[in-house]
Structure formats: structure tokens, C-alpha cells
């Protein structure tokens, strides 16, 4: 992006649309497998949490002082949802602790049915889902890592370069101003995006896998070093939950960014791989948004 | 006009998202009701067992300092069995209790509590992990299962150890049972525990004798055990899945 002024002669060439191949097919396929696995993991994970909706810190559960607990209580003859965070207590009727069943009648399901797999209390089936999709997710993730290394996707598209570090402040401003990148810059990941992806791949993913494994009494015979590091199995369970929440937060921001950056173009780039990039003509940099009128300028 | 298009497009996107969400939920629920699909999901269970055993071998579960023992060892499942045979034994302070070892063994055996207390004892302070997610730490003393099996001399065809219990958790006249393979049976921390935190095991925690199988979740460590049976398979027993909770859909491995 530069602001070098060079007079443009042809008025029809204010800007130019180019279609590029943004994501190759293995990446697109793995992206959607990843989404499927993550939905299954979060839903079944909440089912598992629902069996004992309290989190603790340390090796064992101190039932009288959870970090976070939610339960159904009867107050003034009414079923209410109560959630405890440390020493503070909140009424969370309708979301946590108590929510309406299919007929709207309050039930004491701690996690609402729509957020659980299956939608009713069934720990055994929830565990089946969780452990199946855990394997699928990990294998998919390893394939992604192998492909990203082999195809140089990691090095070329994701690795932070010196210029990325330097342009972080500007990227933050661009995001705050809702200013869309154009040209070659639009075809690349911006530094904040790179950092988010790298954090998910190299921090959150290992964390959620290791904390998940270290809840297994069999695995713990060989993972004492990890439990010693974090304080014990109940710490692992809490961190597993926090990592899940971070994944969900990432996914929400990710979807918001897709909608904000042009949902159709972005979705197409992850389905067919084709992504349309606007290259500005020299005389104008002004209208940033992908508009319907620009659609006609598409070139395969 | 263009605003109308934007609004309707937003509405469309929202409808598509909501529809996809509802469809996904309904789909998951429908799949969860199909036994064939659950069987597909369950196909990773042997993978868990093999990979986890490969990675950890026959290492011991961590043992803790006495200061780590939980103030209350939270009981779960049966906490006060009401079956007639159990009530009769309990009324007598378990003086008439006998642990039987039978099945595919050269020499079926019977032990009174006194006899069990006289055998070599292992004491371990370990963490108990419930399938629900919570953990408690307790101290257990008992006879290594390997000692009992060696005394009874396991016959070559035996592949599993089944534990038969006094409690009727479902209240349908059946009895709790569990099974493990010989890998877990001969693990040094697999003990038939008669003592918890220095006292005879309480009724809520499985009196007079419960299994401690430290690399398993709580439901794989049966309480109120009266018979240890060596078998070559468990398919013809009760629900055929090798345990009370397995018969209602839980995994037999129970190590994660």
C-alpha cells in the first residue's frame, strides 16, 4: 500500500478486481473437518461438564470451595439457577443451573440442552462423542501441521516476519477504523490474524490436548511432571475448560471477522478456494467495502 | 432499495445460520439415538486402551503424602446397599463375610476378612477419579490382587477377572459387577482393599472389601465385592458388556 500519486488515464480502471486462489484444497478440507470436530467436542464436552458442573484448582476436588460451580437451587419455592465464581454468587436462571425444557418448564439441567451433545443428560454417550472426535481432531490437526510444513504454508503465510511485528500498531488502527486492506495486502494474513492463528495452533491446541490427556488416570501414570507443573488433575480439568472457552471466543471473533470482511467472498475462498481482491487504481483509494455493483467486475 | 437488500440479506444469513444450527443439533440428537452410530463412535475405545498402555507401560499411579488426603472421600453409586445378603452380613459386623476366588483357577479359595488382613498388605495414598469429573484422595490398604490370583493359580484360558458385588444399584434385582483384564489385574497397585484412611472401609465406600484399580475411573473399581471370578469372556454375563455401567453404555476401558 502506498500513496504514490500517478495520474490514471482510463476512467474505467478506477480499480481492478482479481480472483486469486487463496486456499488450496487440502487446507479447505481440513478447515471444515476441524469445524465439525470442534462443534462435536464442545457440545460433548459440555455434556461431560454437566455431570459435575464445578471446577477446582489443585489435585483433588475441594467441594466446599470450587473456582466455579453452577447448580439448581430452590429459592422462595421457585427453581433457580445459581452460579458461583470464587466467592461471588450469581442468579443464572435460564442459562446455567436451570433452563426451560422442551415445553418451557424449568428443569435442573445445568448446561442448557441446546448446547450439549446429546441434548439430554447422557454422560456415557457424550464421552463416546468426545473421544471419537478427539481422535479425528488430533489426526486432522497433525495432517494440517504436516501439510503446512511441507507446502510452506506455515513459513510463507503464517510465520511472523519483521515487517509484521512492526506493523502491529497500524494493523490495530486499521481494525479499529474498519479499514479493509486492498491489493496484495488483502491476499495475505494481517499480523493480528497471524498472531491469533499461531496462538491457536501452537498454544491453545497443545494446551487443550495435554490437559485433556492428563485427566486420564492411566495417562497420569506417565504425566506426573505435567500435573506437578500445573498443580494437579483438577487444575488440568479447569485449564481444559478455559482453553475450550478460548477456542469458542476465537471462533466467534473469527466468524465476526469473516462477516465484516465480506462473508460471501470469504466463505467462497474457504469452499472453492477463489478469493476476489480489489487492486486500487492509482487515483482512488476511497471506497473500501465490497459492494454489489463491484460484483460485475469479477474476473475468473 | 439497497438498504432493503442488505436487511433481507442479513435476515437470510441469520435464517441460514439458525437453520444450520437447529439442523446440526437435531442431527446430533438423532445420531445419538442410533446404536449403529454409537458403535462407530465407540470404535476408538480399543485405540485409547492400546495407545495409552503403549505410552505408559506398567508405571504406577502417583502416590501422595498423608497431608493430601481429602477430608471426605465422596461416595458415589451405591452408598448403603439394601440387598438381604448384605444386610445380614452387615448386622454381624461382616464376621461371616467370605471373599471367594473361583472360575478358571486351579484352586478355588475362600478368605475371611481376618485371613485377608493376615496376607501381605500394600498401602497406597492415591487419587480417585470419578467419571463425572471430580477427584478425591484417600489412603488404601489391602491385598494385592496378584497375591490372591497366584494363590488360586490362574488357569491358562483365563483372560478377565470379574468382580461380583452385593449391591443392586439399579434396584431391579441385578447386582453390580465389573471386569478387568489380566494386565490391570496384575498391576502392583490393584489391591482388594479392606482398610481406608487407617480404618476398616466404611459402608458408603464399599465395606467390607472394595477393589482399588488405580489406573481406572471410579466405576471400574467395584465396592462390596464378594467374589472374584476368572473367566475367558464376559459376553454371557448380565448385559454382556463386562460391567454394570458398561451395560448402560459406558466404555469398558474406563482409563480416561
Confidence of residue A12 (pLDDT cuts 50, 70, 90): low
Query: Mean pLDDT across the stretch B217-242?
Result: 98
Chain A segment 154-183 residues within 8 A of B by beta carbon are none
Query: Between the CA of residue A51 and those of A29, A69, A91, B223, what are the distances in Å?
Result: 34, 12, 20, 21
Q: CA-to-CA distance for B204 and A226, rounded, in angstroms?
A: 33
Does residue B44 lie in a domain region? no
Compare A112 and A171 and report the one with higher pLDDT: A171
Chain B residues with CB under 8 Å of A132 CB are 40-44
Confidence of residue B189 (pLDDT cuts 50, 70, 90): very high
Number of helical (H) and strand (E) elements in chain B, helices listed first: 7, 10
pLDDT confidence of residue B5:
64
- Is B214 in Cβ contact with A125 (below 8 Å)? no
- Is B68 in Cβ contact with A132 (below 8 Å)? no
Compare B197 and A103 and report the one with higher pLDDT: B197
| Phi, psi at B123, each rounded to 5° | -115, 135
Model confidence pLDDT, tens digit, residues A264-288 = 999 999 999 999 998 887 554 544 4
CATH code of residue B211: 3.90.420.10
CA distance A50 to chain B (A): 8
- Is B61 in Cβ contact with A60 (below 8 Å)? no
pLDDT confidence of residue B117:
97
Q: Can you tell me the ipTM of this complex? A: 0.92
Question: How many residues does this entry show for chain B?
Answer: 256
Q: Does A69 touch chain B (CB under 8 A)?
A: no
- Is A48 in Cβ contact with B133 (below 8 Å)? yes
Q: Does A51 touch chain B (CB under 8 A)?
A: yes
Query: Mean pLDDT across the stretch B38-50?
Result: 96
Dihedral (CA of B14, B18, B19, B21) sign = positive
Does residue A218 have a pLDDT over 80? yes
- CB-closest option in B24, B47, B59 to A222: B59
- Is A127 in Cβ contact with B215 (below 8 Å)? no
Q: CA-to-CA distance for A124 and B26, rounded, in angstroms?
A: 19
Confidence of residue A299 (pLDDT cuts 50, 70, 90): very low
CA distance A253 to chain B (A): 16
- CB-closest option in B38, B59, B130 to A128: B38
What are the helix (H) ranges across chain B? 2-32, 35-42, 45-56, 84-91, 113-117, 145-152, 182-185
A:B CB pairs within 8 Å: 137
- CB-closest option in B45, B135, B215 to A221: B215
By residue range, what is the domain housing residue B114? 61-248
Domains of chain A as residue ranges with CATH: 12-53+122-297 (1.20.950.20), 62-110 (no CATH)
Does residue A16 have a pLDDT over 60? yes
Chain B residues with CB under 8 Å of A218 CB are 52-53, 56, 215-216, 255-256
Q: Does A129 touch chain B (CB under 8 A)?
A: yes
Q: Rounded mean pLDDT of chain A?
A: 85
Number of domains in chain B: 1
- Is A63 in Cβ contact with B56 (below 8 Å)? no
Model confidence pLDDT, tens digit, residues A148-160 = 999 999 999 999 9
Closest-CA residue of B relative to A238 is B133
Closest-CA residue of A relative to B52 is A219
CA distance B145 to chain A (A): 18
Model confidence pLDDT, tens digit, residues B116-147 = 999 999 999 999 999 999 999 999 999 999 99
Query: Mean pLDDT across the stretch B167-189?
Result: 97
Does residue A6 have a pLDDT over 60? no
Confidence of residue A289 (pLDDT cuts 50, 70, 90): very low
Chain A residues with CB under 8 Å of B38 CB are 125, 128
- Is B60 in Cβ contact with A135 (below 8 Å)? no
- CB-closest option in B74, B131, B135 to A234: B135
Model confidence pLDDT, tens digit, residues A57-106 = 999 999 988 998 887 776 777 767 778 787 777 877 766 766 555 455 55
In the structure grid, which three cell numbers stand for residue A190, read together? Answer: 494481517
Confidence of residue A7 (pLDDT cuts 50, 70, 90): very low
Chain A residues with CB under 8 Å of B64 CB are 59
Smallest CA-to-CA distance from B168 within B159, B160, B177 is with B177
Does residue B167 lie in a domain region? yes
Query: Mean pLDDT across the stretch B206-221?
Result: 98
- Is B41 in Cβ contact with A221 (below 8 Å)? no
pLDDT confidence of residue B129:
98
Chain A residues with CB under 8 Å of B60 CB are 221
- Is B43 in Cβ contact with A132 (below 8 Å)? yes
Does residue A293 have a pLDDT over 60? no
Query: Between the CA of residue B255 and those of A268, B45, B156, B190, B220, what are the distances in Å?
Result: 43, 10, 26, 14, 9
Q: Does A294 touch chain B (CB under 8 A)?
A: no
- Is B41 in Cβ contact with A129 (below 8 Å)? yes
Compare A252 and A83 and report the one with higher pLDDT: A252
pLDDT confidence of residue A296:
34
Tell me if residue B151 falls in helix, strand or coil: helix
Looking at chain A, the whole-number percentage of residues with pLDDT higher than 90 is: 64
Does residue A128 have a pLDDT over 80? yes
Does residue B168 have a pLDDT over 50? yes
Confidence of residue A3 (pLDDT cuts 50, 70, 90): very low
Model confidence pLDDT, tens digit, residues B74-119 = 999 999 999 999 999 999 999 999 999 999 999 999 999 999 999 9
Tell me if residue B196 falls in helix, strand or coil: strand
Smallest CA-to-CA distance from B222 within B58, B99, B46 is with B99
pLDDT confidence of residue B176:
98
HSE-CB of A182 using CA atoms within 13 angstroms: 19
pLDDT confidence of residue A1:
40
Does residue B3 lie in a domain region? no
- Is A125 in Cβ contact with B32 (below 8 Å)? yes
Closest-CA residue of B relative to A218 is B215
Amino acid at each position: 500500500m502506498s500513496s504514490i500519486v500517478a495520474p490514471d488515464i482510463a476512467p474505467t480502471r478506477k480499480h481492478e478486481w482479481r480472483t486469486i486462489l487463496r486456499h488450496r484444497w487440502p487446507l479447505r478440507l481440513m478447515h471444515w473437518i476441524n469445524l465439525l470436530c470442534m462443534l462435536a467436542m464442545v457440545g460433548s464436552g459440555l455434556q461431560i461438564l454437566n455431570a459435575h458442573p464445578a471446577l477446582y484448582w489443585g489435585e483433588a476436588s475441594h467441594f466446599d470451595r470450587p473456582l466455579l460451580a453452577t447448580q439448581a437451587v430452590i429459592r422462595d419455592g421457585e427453581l433457580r439457577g445459581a452460579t458461583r465464581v470464587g466467592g461471588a454468587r450469581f442468579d443464572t436462571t435460564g442459562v446455567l443451573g436451570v433452563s426451560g425444557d422442551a415445553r418451557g418448564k424449568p428443569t435442573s439441567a445445568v448446561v442448557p440442552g441446546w448446547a450439549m451433545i446429546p441434548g439430554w443428560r447422557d454422560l456415557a454417550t457424550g464421552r463416546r462423542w468426545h473421544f471419537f472426535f478427539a481422535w479425528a481432531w488430533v489426526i486432522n490437526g497433525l495432517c494440517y501441521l504436516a501439510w503446512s510444513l511441507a507446502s510452506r504454508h506455515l513459513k510463507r503465510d503464517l510465520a511472523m516476519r519483521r515487517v509484521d511485528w512492526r506493523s502491529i500498531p497500524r494493523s490495530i488502527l486499521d481494525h479499529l477504523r474498519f479499514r479493509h486492506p486492498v491489493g496484495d495486502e488483502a491476499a495475505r494474513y494481517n499480523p493480528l490474524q497471524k498472531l491469533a492463528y499461531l496462538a491457536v495452533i501452537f498454544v491453545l491446541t497443545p494446551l487443550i490436548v495435554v490437559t485433556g490427556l492428563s485427566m486420564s488416570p492411566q495417562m497420569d501414570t506417565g504425566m506426573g511432571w505435567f500435573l506437578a507443573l500445573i498443580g494437579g488433575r483438577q487444575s488440568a480439568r479447569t485449564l481444559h475448560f478455559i482453553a475450550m472457552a478460548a477456542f469458542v471466543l476465537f471462533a466467534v471473533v473469527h466468524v465476526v471477522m469473516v462477516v465484516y470482511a465480506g462473508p460471501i467472498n470469504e466463505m467462497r475462498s474457504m469452499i472453492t478456494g477463489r478469493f476476489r481482491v480489489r487492486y486500487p487504481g492509482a487515483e482512488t483509494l476511497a471506497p473500501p467495502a465490497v459492494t454489489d455493483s463491484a460484483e460485475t467486475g469479477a474476473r475468473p | 432499495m439497497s438498504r432493503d437488500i442488505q436487511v433481507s440479506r442479513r435476515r437470510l444469513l441469520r435464517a441460514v445460520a439458525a437453520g444450520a444450527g437447529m439442523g446440526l443439533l437435531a442431527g446430533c440428537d438423532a445420531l445419538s439415538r442410533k446404536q449403529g452410530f454409537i458403535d462407530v463412535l465407540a470404535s476408538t475405545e480399543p485405540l485409547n486402551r492400546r495407545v495409552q498402555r503403549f505410552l505408559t507401560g506398567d508405571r504406577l499411579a502417583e502416590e501422595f503424602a498423608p497431608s493430601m488426603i481429602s477430608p471426605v472421600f465422596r461416595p458415589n453409586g451405591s452408598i448403603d446397599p439394601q440387598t438381604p445378603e448384605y444386610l445380614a452380613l452387615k448386622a454381624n459386623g461382616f464376621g461371616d463375610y467370605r471373599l471367594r476366588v473361583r472360575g478358571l483357577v486351579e484352586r478355588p479359595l475362600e478368605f475371611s476378612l481376618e485371613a485377608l488382613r493376615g496376607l501381605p498388605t500394600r498401602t497406597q495414598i492415591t487419587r480417585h477419579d470419578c467419571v463425572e469429573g471430580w477427584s478425591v484422595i484417600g489412603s488404601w490398604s489391602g491385598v494385592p490382587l496378584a497375591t490372591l490370583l497366584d494363590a488360586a493359580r490362574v488357569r491358562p484360558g483365563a483372560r478377565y477377572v470379574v468382580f461380583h458385588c452385593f449391591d443392586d444399584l439399579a434396584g431391579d434385582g441385578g447386582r453390580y459387577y465389573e471386569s478387568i483384564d489380566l494386565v490391570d489385574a496384575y498391576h502392583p497397585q490393584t489391591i482388594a482393599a479392606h482398610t481406608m484412611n487407617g480404618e476398616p472401609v466404611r459402608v458408603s465406600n464399599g465395606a467390607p472389601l472394595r477393589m482399588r484399580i488405580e489406573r481406572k475411573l471410579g466405576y471400574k473399581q467395584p465396592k462390596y465385592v464378594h467374589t472374584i471370578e476368572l473367566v475367558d469372556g464376559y459376553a454371557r454375563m448380565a448385559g454382556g458388556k463386562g460391567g454394570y455401567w458398561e451395560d448402560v453404555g459406558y466404555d469398558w476401558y474406563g482409563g480416561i
